[in-house]
Amino acid sequence: MNKIVFSLFLLLSIFAFTAGGCSDKVDKGSKVGDTEADNYDVSKDIQRDMSIQEYNIQERKKLATVRFACDTIALMEYVLANYPEGTYLVDFDRTFTYNIPKSAVIYQKNNEGQYVFGIIAKSWSHDPRLIEMKNIVGYDASYIDLDSTELGTAFFYLTLFKGNEKENTFDTLWEAGIPSHGGFNNLTLEKWEKKKMPYVKANFHYAQGIGHFDYNFFFVDGMLKKPHLLLTYEGINFKRIMTDANGDKYPDYIEFKYLDTGERITVLDSVTFIWKDTCYFNTRNPKQFRYY
């Protein structure tokens, strides 16, 4: 019996000593981990971010079945090499989780060469955290306006590039800001039938209002000139649609007013805004205006 008790005491002593020794090692190691591992954030590591982008480009090359001069992969490489750190050629929102990512680009070719419209997202230069694609694209990413400082701050631009097919590179012709920080969905080329005018529509999710925003860029002076921006949107209790109120070359819009009681939503009224010089003005109250 005494031998059994002694054996148990010896085992417990060894266990306690071993646990104590491990605890000391963990404590010492945790100090290193706190500064180098636990607090390591790839979004604040410029070189690491560039390495990830380079890796993703190489993976796209492996998946590409057809390559051509000034294609999307070449544009990704151009953006990585010529734009500030933390800049991305944005991807479409994936329909399914395992879809291959598709870049938000539209190709246009004419006698003067090949042009590419692309959505570019830049990290705010005053924010130490770089943006990440997963935080700015998709339905859930439309909540980023509530905590954008925690996830980096993205500035979106619709950009027109002209391809130099001999050199397989690009020139940036213009970029137009998109007043949103997250929730990108897709990019499409549309036509305003009333004026037979082409425009590019950048669609963003708006989860807070169960709806979406459309940033419509109209080529009122041709594709090579910086476009005119008109915002339209629709959600559970808000709506703005495009119209032609005064017959000029600029699109106008109608904004609807809703009554939302929590149980029932009804349209109360609507008001037309027309473009004049630099702003959209309320046709009933000229003191009220919007920039887009």
Which pLDDT value is given to residue 44? 65
Dump pLDDT digits (tens) for 226-279.
Answer: 999 999 999 999 999 999 999 999 999 999 999 999 899 999 999 999 999 999
Token digits for 115? 């042009």
Structure tokens at 149: 């400082």
Rounded-to-integer distance, Cα 287 and Cα 221, Å: 28
pLDDT confidence of residue 96: 74
Q: Give per-residue pLDDT as tens, 122-137.
A: 999 888 889 999 999 9
Q: Which residues of the chain have pLDDT under 70?
A: 1-45, 147-149
**Strands 154-164 and 113-123: what pairing?**
antiparallel
Question: Cα-Cα-Cα-Cα dihedral of 141, 143, 146, 147, to 10°?
Answer: -30
The tokens for 146 are: 């509530």
User: What DSSP string describes 23-88?
Assistant: HHHHHHHHHHHHHHTTT--GGG-HHHHHHHHHHHHHHHHHH-S---TT-HHHHHHHHHHHS-TT-E
Identify the pLDDT of residue 46.
72
Predicted pLDDT of residue 19: 43
Count CA atoms closer than 13 A to 198's CA, side-chain side: 10
237 three-state secondary structure: coil
Provide the 8-state DSSP code for 99. Answer: S
* Predicted local distance difference test score (pLDDT) of residue 47: 77
Determine the pLDDT at residue 40. Answer: 54
